[in-house]
């Protein structure tokens, strides 16, 4: 019995030794990053609304409702409003995620521009049975901006632009009417939100 065990152990050891010498194919190394020192920042913004979240979302949550509350033209250029992969004319933004009361979008890669992985998420979040808050979060890589001063100016500019949009959404959701857009501030005369 001892002899059979020793022979089996020797055969097993030999087999393992043989297998250890077989070259195992390694996956190729990943390509270098296009932006090796990315600096991802987020800008979370929110505003309270005196309406239930479902009502708020019904009023301002369609994918091309951005046209009304950002006071810019918006059309769906591909797909259907509210469906994954829908593309709106504002920044050629693509709907990449959604829930019953939220959506997330990104902007496409453009020739000659660094891709900063810009994403935005808009959500109507219940607070009570009769109130909610709108939450808008941007995330992107700001490492492609010229310097620290440019990065410091970028976040407040975006915050101001999108807080104005949140204020407009609140007004609309609560049954109000929007004032005319300010010239050159992301409204009808200012064009689409900047990437």
For 129-164, how does the pLDDT look when each residue is reduced to its tens digit (9 = 90+)?
Answer: 999 999 999 999 999 999 999 999 999 999 999 999
Q: Which domains does the chain have, with CATH numbers?
A: 38-173 (3.30.530.20)
Using the 8-state DSSP alphabet, how is residue 188 labeled?
T
Q: Grade residue 27 by pLDDT with cuts at 50, 70 and 90.
A: confident
- Residue 34 has what pLDDT? 83
How far, rounded to the nearest angstrom, does the alpha carbon of residue 146 sit from its chain's CA centroid?
23
Q: How many CB atoms lie within 10 A of CB 106?
A: 19
Per-residue pLDDT band for 39 (boundaries 50, 70, 90) equals very high
Ranges 31-35, 71-75, 108-112, 156-160: which has the least confidence = 31-35
In the predicted model, what is the mean pLDDT of residues 54-61?
Answer: 98
Q: How many beta carbons lie within 10 A of that of residue 57, not counting itself?
A: 24
pLDDT for residue 20 is more than 60: no
pLDDT of residue 104: 98
Mean pLDDT value of segment 81-94: 96
**pLDDT band, very low/low/confident/very high, at 189 (cuts 50, 70, 90):** very low
Is the pLDDT confidence value at 1 over 90? no
Does residue 96 surpass a pLDDT of 90? yes
Q: What is the mean pLDDT of the chain?
A: 87
Name residues whose C-beta falls within 8 Å of residue 45's C-beta, 6 or more positions apart in sequence: 135, 136, 137, 159, 162, 163, 166
Confidence of residue 191 (pLDDT cuts 50, 70, 90): very low
Residue 23: pLDDT over 90: no
Q: At residue 135, what are phi and psi to the nearest 5 degrees?
A: -120, 125
Average the pLDDT over 48-70 and give the result: 97
């Amino acid at each position: 019995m001892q002899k059979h065990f020793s022979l089996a152990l020797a055969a097993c050891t030999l087999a393992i030794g043989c297998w250890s010498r077989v070259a195992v194919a390694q996956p190729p190394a990943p390509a270098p990053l296009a932006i090796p020192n990315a600096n991802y920042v987020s800008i979370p913004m929110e505003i309270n609304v005196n309406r239930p979240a479902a009502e708020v979302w019904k009023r301002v949550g369609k994918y091309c409702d951005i046209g009304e509350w950002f006071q810019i033209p918006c059309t769906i250029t591909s797909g259907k409003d509210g469906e994954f992969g829908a593309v709106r004319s504002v920044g050629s933004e693509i709907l990449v995620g959604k829930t019953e009361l939220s959506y997330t979008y990104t902007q496409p890669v453009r020739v000659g521009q660094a891709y900063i992985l810009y994403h935005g998420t808009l959500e109507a979040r219940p607070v009570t049975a009769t109130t909610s808050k709108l939450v808008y979060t941007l995330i992107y890589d700001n490492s492609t901006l010229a310097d620290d001063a440019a990065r410091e100016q970028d976040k407040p500019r975006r915050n101001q632009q999108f807080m104005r949009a949140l204020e407009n959404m609140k007004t609309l959701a609560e049954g109000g009417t929007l004032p005319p857009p300010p010239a050159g501030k992301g409204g009808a005369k200012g064009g689409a939100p900047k990437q």
